[in-house]
């Protein structure tokens, strides 16, 4: 695959392949039809999983031999969905050759058999009684049912039938027709003279949906399930869906809501631009999706499209060019005129790949056959009785554009939907329809909010200040919204324009009298501009750049744009927020990821870690060292066999020698009763085949080739392959290899974890976190703060200026704490060395997590507060505080977890468990137990019950 599958996707591929092999074997033994039911929630990447499965069927892996003659038939109920699946397989499955995927055409397809080695796409609409595919005559020799029956009769040992039931978009009668056609392949059809398919692999969003499809069949069902939690933790989906509706009784609510949607979309543009520019990613062009009403009489739509586009341009401050606004109206594929702009038709399945598209007008045909993660904001003019269509669309929009959670900017982790004709109750209908249509338990949180009562507030460590609001000399303006290209202007003439984003000027160029720019930048590849700018900046002369003192003077004297005045509260921060964040992020503070099961083996994790260290430059020889060490293990094993005089005997016995390697031969060309298969045969072809299997078991890292390059015997050039096969077939050798991999993986992690924390690239840090998480149930990570977070809006909250994250507009954070939490912060604020505090969100994507054990099971806990204090030596020191009710049974487990955390993080200041207790006067006060003190650590670590912990609180706890 061209893309790296997520761990849960790899597990799903392996599980489905095993069950498919078992199903095909069972069919040949019993002739009973088999069904492999694969269910996964929205966003799990079901098509990618199936593409990887198909690739492994054709080309084999460490468990199954390749089957180049396999035939795959892919059935769905939508031509658009078929086209999308075909495009995804063509673009993501690198081993599938061009032309191997074939769409069965109603006009031209006519064949006795489906050809070996191909993937055929069918849809139920082409299998109806009125379709030409199902008829003979008019020059057609074989109808589609005859082709299927002939193929099944002659090629059932390598025929795989996939039913894509995951995105059912039809309603009512049409849905019933599609279900009936799909069931023909499960039950057989006397009318069409086809028996049930030998093996059907069914993709579905819910087990209930597919169970309905297979109801009444005699098939044996093998189930493979991906859970919502697996998808949620992967970062493939947005964290939140926020649905905004108007206040009751508001007037002109549709255009007011449209303006709010335009504001949200513009904000997404700005945040995505900043993120991609700083992280050196190709730019994400977020799309605004506008769902309009159907037309009446001769009108194309009852929604005023001209007014819509005019309002969007008015709100965002730019004008669109041809190609930036498209429609998907099913009534016409011609271009239409909207507010004087030519708006062309675009196939829904091709929208995502066209980076020039900014706005999409549609009616209903985006709910299926469409997948566009760049669609970040949606406005719908539909009324409340159309909740189902809106829900289906949302199911296509929850995927993340970069297939990862954005750690730096939490604004980029939600998708926003605006519904002017819904209210609080009808929004619940959308949520219910979404859950029903898309998988029962959507792995994304869904919130409803009125236009004025926002659910979330954005907080940042970089609140706007005068020096950031004013355009700095030495910067250039890049219009990321308008159709005009950006320009590099003179260093003395870099002026900020409305609706523009600035990036550092990198070269001094002149403009002519007509102000025509000398240098034009490509409109869409902003990451390339940034890269080019960085390279050119190295040549900028010291004399041409203004001095730091000059810049400071100009900044202090310059007025704010648009005549704004700076509020007194925000005129000067209480402390340097960015410096505090940098200190925390560079400290290498441990946070943990706690998973229910380990997902991958240590060999794969070791290779990934070694590649990351090599690629990042932290240890450039890391992957070579690991490969050489494993090759040496093979050499040592072979030498030991020779020393024991066993090697020649094994080679001579290859024809008869059988090793206990269970291989289902369902993916090969012969059937061997599915028992133990010969690992070795005498032909070079089969030695090569088993060598490829051995390489796969060694991680497909070229270990066998590296071994051969180093130890090849020129008189017997294939002998090194036998060495590798022997090593892999020896269970003791593989156990030693995996033990080595575990020790080496943890060693590299411990040696380089602190250095990873100082790397600026979020991509490297994210890859590191993913690798470490896949290796262990409880994995160590570097705690790292984002620059921007989103917190729930809580009415009745208190304003805090000393919270690290504050509102960009007001310079304060409005947070609602309970009584205990409020008392803790008030006590901390009174300390002379206090700087600021952070509310640590429970289960937040960036939250500090500490593991603890209860009932012999690892659990995560998220301490309530992180406190930052001044420190004479290091500048700052970090404390971790957890107010906790002593009545909870997890008190001892958490105390022990904090004690162990203190042991592993000696640089942390205080690590306190806090409870309410009476002092000598009988007054309720906060009593603290500090696990950073060695004596307390020791006592807590040896405590055996909550009563013992209570006693430690009595003897060693203290009041501030």
The reported pLDDT for the residue numbered 252 is 67
Cα 79 to Cα 76: distance, rounded to the nearest angstrom = 8
**For the chain, which ranges sit under pLDDT 50?**
169-172, 438-439, 466-478, 482-571, 655-682
DSSP 757-778: TT---HHHHHHHHHHHHHH-SE
Q: Distances in Å between the alpha carbon of 11 and those of 49, 594, 598, 717?
A: 10, 18, 11, 36
Q: How far apart are CA 745 and CA 629, in angstroms?
A: 13
CB 398 within 8 A of CB 238: yes
pTM, 2 dp? 0.71
d(CA 499, CA 492): 21
**Cα separation of 344 and 304, whole Å?**
17
At residue 923, the pLDDT reads: 92
The CA distance from 539 to 726, in Å, is 58
Kindly state the tokens that stand for 703.
């270990």
**C-alpha atoms less than 13 angstroms from C-alpha of 699 in its C-beta half-sphere:** 23
Q: What is the pLDDT of residue 511?
A: 36
Query: Rounded to whole angstroms, how far apart are CA atoms 743 and 738?
Result: 9
Compute the distance between CA of residue 888 and CA of residue 185 in angstroms, rounded to an integer. Answer: 55
Q: Are 902 and 852 in contact (CB under 8 A)?
A: no
Burial (CB < 10 A; 0-12, 13-18, 19+), residue 644, is: exposed
Which helix or strand (DSSP H or E) is residue 157 part of? none
State how far the Cα of 164 lies from the Cα of 174, in Å rounded to an integer. Answer: 16
CA distance 734 to 732: 5
Tokens at residue 194, please?
């086809």
The confidence score (pLDDT) of residue 437 equals 54
Q: Where do we find the tokens 């260093």?
A: 491
Strands 325-327 and 71-76: unpaired
Residue (of 731, 926, 947) closest to 828 by Cα position? 926
The pLDDT score that the predictor gives to residue 683 is 55
In contact, 153 and 159? CB cutoff 8 Å:
no
The three-class DSSP label of residue 929 is: strand
* Tokens coding 121: 């796409």
User: Which pLDDT value is given to residue 280?
Assistant: 85
Q: Scanning the structure block, which residue is given the tokens 């719908």?
A: 380
Which pLDDT score is estimated for 514?
39
Which ranges constitute the DSSP H helices of 71-143? 79-92
Phi and psi dihedrals of 501, rounded to 5?
-120, 140
Instruction: Report residue 878 as tokens.
Output: 């970090």
Residue 571 neighbours by CB distance under 10 Å: 10
Dump pLDDT digits (tens) for 214-248: 777 778 889 998 887 788 778 888 888 898 988 77
């Amino acid at each position: 695959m061209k893309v790296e599958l997520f761990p849960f996707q790899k597990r799903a591929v392996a599980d489905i392949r095993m069950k498919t092999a078992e199903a095909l074997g069972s069919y040949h033994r019993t002739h009973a039809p088999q069904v492999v039911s694969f269910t996964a929630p929205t966003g799990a990447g079901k098509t990618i999983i199936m593409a990887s499965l198909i690739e492994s069927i054709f080309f084999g892996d460490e468990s199954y031999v390749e089957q180049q003659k396999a035939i795959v038939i892919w059935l769905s109920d939508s031509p658009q969905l078929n086209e999308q699946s075909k495009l995804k397989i063509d673009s993501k499955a690198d081993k599938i050759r061009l032309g191997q995927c074939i769409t069965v055409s109603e006009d031209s397809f006519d064949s006795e058999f489906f050809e070996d080695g191909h993937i055929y796409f069918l849809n139920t609409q082409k299998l109806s009684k009125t379709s030409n595919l199902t008829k003979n005559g008019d020059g057609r020799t074989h109808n589609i049912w005859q082709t299927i029956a002939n193929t099944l009769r002659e090629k059932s040992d390598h025929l795989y039938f996939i039913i894509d039931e995951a995105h059912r978009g039809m309603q009512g009668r049409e849905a019933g027709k599609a279900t009936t056609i799909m069931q023909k392949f499960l039950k057989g059809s006397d009318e069409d003279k086809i028996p049930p398919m030998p093996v059907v692999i069914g993709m579905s969003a819910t087990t209930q949906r597919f169970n309905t499809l297979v109801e009444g069949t005699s098939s044996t069902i093998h189930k493979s399930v991906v859970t919502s939690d697996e998808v949620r933790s992967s970062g493939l989906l947005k964290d939140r869906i926020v649905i905004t509706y108007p206040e009751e009784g508001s007037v002109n609510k549709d255009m007011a809501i449209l303006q709010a949607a335009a504001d949200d979309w513009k904000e997404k543009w700005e945040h995505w631009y900043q993120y991609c520019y700083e992280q050196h990613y190709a730019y994400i062009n977020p799309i605004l999706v506008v769902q309009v009403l159907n037309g009446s009489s001769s009108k194309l739509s009852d929604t005023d499209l001209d007014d819509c586009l005019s309002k969007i341009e008015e709100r965002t401050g730019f004008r669109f060019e041809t190609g930036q606004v498209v429609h998907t109206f099913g009534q016409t594929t011609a271009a239409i005129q909207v507010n004087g702009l030519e708006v062309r038709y675009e196939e829904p399945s091709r929208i995502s790949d066209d980076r020039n598209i900014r706005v999409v007008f549609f009616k209903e045909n985006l709910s299926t056959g469409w997948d566009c993660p760049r669609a970040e904001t949606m406005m719908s003019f539909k009324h409340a009785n159309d909740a189902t269509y809106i829900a289906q669309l949302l199911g296509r929009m929850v995927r993340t554009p970069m297939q990862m959670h954005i750690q730096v900017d939490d604004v980029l982790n939600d998708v926003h939907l605006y519904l002017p004709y819904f209210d609080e109750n009808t929004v619940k209908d959308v949520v219910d329809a979404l859950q029903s249509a898309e998988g029962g338990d959507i792995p994304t949180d869904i919130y409803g909010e009125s236009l004025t009562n926002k659910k979330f507030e954005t907080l940042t460590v970089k609140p706007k200040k005068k020096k950031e609001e004013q355009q700095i000399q030495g910067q250039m303006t890049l219009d990321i919204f308008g159709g005009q290209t950006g320009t590099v202007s003179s260093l003395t003439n870099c002026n900020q324009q409305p609706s523009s984003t600035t990036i550092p000027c990198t070269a001094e160029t002149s403009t002519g009298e007509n102000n025509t720019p000398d240098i034009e930048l490509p409109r869409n590849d902003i990451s390339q501009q940034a890269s080019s700018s960085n390279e050119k900046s190295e040549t900028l002369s010291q004399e041409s750049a203004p001095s730091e003192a000059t810049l400071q003077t100009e900044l202090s004297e310059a007025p704010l744009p648009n005549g704004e005045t700076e509020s007194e509260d925000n005129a000067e921060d209480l402390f340097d927020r960015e410096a505090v964040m940098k200190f925390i992020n560079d400290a290498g503070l441990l946070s943990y990821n706690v998973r229910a099961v380990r997902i991958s083996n240590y060999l794969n994790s070791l290779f990934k870690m070694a590649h990351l260290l090599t690629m990042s430059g932290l240890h450039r020889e890391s992957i070579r060292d690991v490969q050489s060490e494993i090759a040496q293990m093979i050499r040592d094993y072979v030498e030991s066999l020779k020393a024991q005089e066993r090697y020649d005997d094994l080679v001579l016995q290859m024809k008869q020698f059988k090793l206990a390697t269970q291989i289902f031969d369902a993916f090969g060309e012969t059937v061997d009763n599915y028992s133990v298969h010969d690992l070795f045969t005498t032909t070079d072809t089969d030695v090569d085949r088993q060598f490829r299997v051995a390489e796969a078991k060694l991680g497909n890292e070229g270990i066998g080739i590296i071994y051969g390059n180093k130890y090849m015997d020129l008189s017997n050039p294939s002998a090194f392959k036998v060495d590798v096969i022997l090593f892999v077939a020896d269970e003791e050798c593989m156990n030693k290899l995996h033990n080595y991999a575990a020790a080496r993986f943890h060693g590299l992690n411990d040696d380089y974890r602190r250095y990873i924390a100082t790397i600026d690239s979020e991509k490297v840090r994210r890859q590191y976190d993913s690798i470490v998480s896949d290796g262990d149930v409880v994995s160590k990570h570097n705690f790292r703060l984002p620059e921007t977070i989103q917190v729930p809006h809580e009415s009745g909250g208190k304003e805090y200026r000393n919270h690290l994250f504050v509102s960009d507009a007001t310079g304060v954070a409005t947070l609602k704490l309970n009584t205990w939490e409020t008392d803790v912060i008030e006590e901390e604020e009174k300390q002379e060395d206090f700087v600021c505090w952070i509310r640590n969100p429970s289960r937040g994507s960036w939250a500090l997590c500490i593991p603890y054990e209860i009932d012999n099971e690892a659990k995560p806990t998220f301490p309530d507060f992180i406190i930052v204090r001044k420190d004479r030596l290091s500048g700052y020191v970090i404390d971790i505080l957890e107010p906790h009710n002593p009545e909870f049974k997890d008190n001892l487990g958490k105390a022990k977890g904090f004690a162990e955390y203190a042991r592993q993080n000696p640089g942390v200041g205080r690590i306190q468990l806090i409870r309410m207790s009476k002092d000598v006067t009988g007054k309720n006060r906060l009593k603290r137990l500090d696990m950073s003190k060695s004596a307390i650590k020791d006592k807590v670590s040896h405590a055996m019950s909550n009563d013992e912990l209570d006693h430690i609180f009595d003897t060693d706890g203290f009041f501030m």
